[in-house]
Amino acid sequence: MQLLLHLKLNKQWISEKKCMKKVLVVDDQKDNVFVLEDRLKREGYEILKAFNGQKCIEIAEEQMPDIILLDVMMPGLSGFEVCKILTSSKVTKNIPVILVTALNEAADLNEGFLAGAFDYIKKPFNRIELIARVKAALRFSELQNMMLEFEKIKTFSATVSTANHEIKQPLTLINLSTAALNRELGKDEINKEAIKKRVGFIEDATRDIISVLDKLSSIKSPIFTNWVNDVKLIDLSEASKSGN
């Protein structure tokens, strides 16, 4: 069942990703933007444009492009500064940034990578190299996003299995106690002590269920344990130890 779910979602993911990719091109020199726009449009990409660092950040947050081609030498916010802001933001951190630069010193390139850049293209750029690096960055990004989706599926599956495993016993107890209460209430003479006992069972079982759900909802980094038939559970004891 889990394998079928993975394959179904994988097929859906691939289908969704067939749409036109959005490339945000950023350079304070409009001629450079138009050259890149022309070459990328011929490859079937949708082009977004920005002519300064602040506008780049705004468009990236609003439009969520698939990749950003970012000039380094710009007035105001430099490409290094913009790259660091983008890769540090929860909203845009997964968008690959390729720096477009005339700088060729190792220290300059290292500064770009330290700022979070995925790759760089030297000016004047070669069309074949440009397209190859863009495609490589997009493939890496798609693979990374797919891995994140699979991790979400794994966590969801383990959460459902854990809830089912941990809650089944208290639910069974509630069901049995409810049946016993109905039988007792159907008698001519009601035994109050028997009713209190069954109500106590129900209250204990309810607290157990709430405890399990609280632990599951508070876990931020789940630890998985093997159960049966390749089914994984979330280790709730680790959540208790960490104070989650």
For the stretch 191-221, pLDDT in tens is 889 899 999 999 999 999 888 888 887 777 7
Taking the complete model, does pTM exceed 0.85, yes or no?
A: no
CA distances from 83 to 70, 80, 120 (A): 8, 5, 12
Q: How far apart are CA 121 and CA 128, in angstroms?
A: 11
Residue that the structure tokens 């797919």 belong to: 146
**What tokens appear for 242 in the block?**
């960490």
Three-state secondary-structure class, residue 220: coil
Question: CB–CB of 46/67 below 8 Å?
Answer: no
Taking the CA atoms of the chain, what radius of gyration do you get in angstroms? 28
CA–CA separation, 71 vs 55, rounded Å? 13
Residue 184's pLDDT is what? 86
pLDDT tens-digit profile, the chain (244 residues):
444 444 444 544 444 444 689 999 999 999 999 999 999 999 999 999 999 999 999 999 999 999 999 999 999 999 999 999 999 999 999 999 999 988 777 777 788 889 999 998 988 888 899 999 999 999 988 888 788 777 777 777 887 788 888 888 899 999 999 999 999 888 888 888 989 999 999 999 999 988 888 888 777 777 777 776 667 777 777 555 544 4
Contact indicator for 154, 232 with CB cutoff of 8 Å: yes
Reduce the DSSP state of residue 22 to 3 states and report it: strand
Report CA-CA distances (Å) from 40 to 13, 128, 131, 149, 180: 24, 11, 7, 28, 72
The amino acid present at 218, given as its one-letter code, is S
Classify burial at 44, counting beta carbons within 10 Å of its beta carbon; exposed 0-12, middle 13-18, buried 19 or more: exposed
